[in-house]
Structure 1
Amino acid sequence: ILGGICPLIGTSTNLVVHGMILEAGFEGFSMFELGKVGIFIAIAGIIYIFLFSKRLLPDARPDTAVPDEEVEEGEKLHRVEAVLGARFPGINKKLKDFNFQRHYGAEVKEIKTRNGQRFVSNLEDVVLHEGDTLVVMADDTFIPTWGESSVFVLLTNGNEPDTTGKKKRWFALLLLVLMIVGATVGELPVTKEMFPDIKLDMFFFVSITTIIMAWTNLFPARKYTKYISWDILITIACAFAISKAMVNSGVADSVAKFIIGLSDDYGPHVLLAMLFIITNLFTELITNNAAAALAFPLALSIASQLGVSPTPFFVVICMAASASFSTPIGYQTNLIVQGIGNYKFTDFVRIGLPLNIITFLISIILIPLIWNF
């Protein structure tokens, strides 16, 4: 999360806000513009985690899952941890009502719920929810079959074979670097003056990179659409709709007037802080993209009614919506880590709340200094 807030492509939240900014008729963010404040948050966050994680987080809890050595010889089964995604067909069903082994050819040995509970017995009566982690014994076909499916976010024991050649890996890395450098240079004023008829933005270089990857067979010709994050695209489209609906219905203006009325005597700095808190509460309780979509029209209305630049408010939305440290449900990454570390909900609150406060203080202090109202 700390790394993702720095570049534009680091998290889908930044892309959602960037898209809504363009839709509203403003100039969007350049590739590393958010890094002007994001790098300070990342450095402070890393120092905090380094100094306090051992004090605030529990010692490693015992892993009660069946080790690979207990599997009968000849079966060639190994342990895989799979986090249930939103499209898992057995959501809100008991394990006995959803034949996992028949559907996926793997046997469930342990269930870790997103609330921190662990079950190694009476598994058939456990109700499955999104974000739960299943420890299963599976053969070598399980990962290739379901590894790229939206049904699971898989956490493996490293037994999956590496089918990518060394040259292809280096070439893919080179393309990534060229894409980022190209998008960064393309946003410079000098480049825009040199090529006034061509919009050398991120979309341009992503498109070029994708064509090169397809042309050089870096991914199979029949799987072009498999690598598109449809969930993110749908979320961005829905974010536009939510933002437009809040503006057209007058809800955004009404809420903005209410917020401004609470802090008439304090200026835009207090409103910036209030917008951060509101967005951060949204992101902890729902998801980061939805939080950004709900907060964006508020930022637009607040800036319009105050007659100030909306850019500081847009940046604070990116920081606040990404700062989902205090709950495991606001960010998919947190759900993955919860399963690996056997963490409880309270563990995230204990270490995450101070990190939220650190992000809040740095954002409120630095953003107005970097982007003037």
Structure 2
Amino acid sequence: MRVLYVHQFFAGPDAPGPAQPRALVRRLAERGHAVDVVACDLNAYNEQAEPEEAYDVPGGGSVRVHRLPVPRGLRASLANRLKTYGRFAWAAYRFGKRRSKPDVVMASIQPLFGGFAAYRLARRWRRPFLLEIRDLWPDALVVKKAIAQWQAAPLEALARAMYFGADRVVCLTPGLKQEILRKGVPAGRVDLFPNGFEESFFRLEAGTREKMRAELGWGDAFVAVYTGTHTEVTAVETIVRAAETLKARRDIRLDLFGTGQTKPKAIALAKDLGLDNVHFHDPVPKSKVPAILAAADAGLMTLFCSPLIHIYFENKFIDYMGSRLPILAALEGVQADLIRRCGAGQVVPA
């Protein structure tokens, strides 16, 4: 079967970003399918260029990753991000029009616009359309006040066209499924495929913890790490405020790996508070994350308290669980429930 998969920010083989989409296309190829991934040439986490890829797997399947150029400056403003999203969607639609018909079209959102391009291609070709929902737009944008309710109307129309037009809707968390059903999408077309991890990814050589701690200069300190994006939703300023209460504990440090719109604000807050126990790092290749987590003593998670807090199931949560790393969290929802149920750490309200 030939599969066209539109996923704007499909991360490269060693780039920051979710690993699950890569695992998905490889598994499809291992079952004999030919998968064409349509993505942009920009990594969403570090804004570095992403490579095209082409490989075959035993059993006759293949993966081809096509990269379409988009404007830079994702972090500059919401307007810049929307321009990048829109440019990709138009390019993806034009790219698809020039190709022969696949057997099925898949899309992963967010952002919305690439998904809508995939939806239009599926309807043009009269092929089944499978929609994977990773975040809830425009609802999440309204909740965090990135846009006003009236500005959300055209985005809501796009989203509903996909939700109701898709042959199957796949939600990554129970909260997302709950919200999609609340919008009236028939339950028979909505599936829950929660993300997980491959245990082999977290198997490390003996001595990795000691080597990584020495490389990072952690010494004998108790180190709690945060690995992920710095946004209004992830509320990393909460971690900085926690660091302020720990100023007298010279044996504890907090290390944050990643980037995002609110990182400069978090760094400025730490500077204003005169903190030397919180440290900010650039994003790291995905392959390095298991070693960092093995070197750490706890993983940090924070979320902005909102009516949609229950929809999130973050990549860092999966990584922490895969590493068997104790979790310290300020949040609510399914992640908090799982931490409590599994005895995986401590949770306080967001």
- TM-score w.r.t. length of structure 1: 0.25
Q: Which has the higher contact order (CA 8 A, sep 6+)?
A: 1
Give the strand-richer structure, 1 or 2.
2
Larger radius of gyration: 1
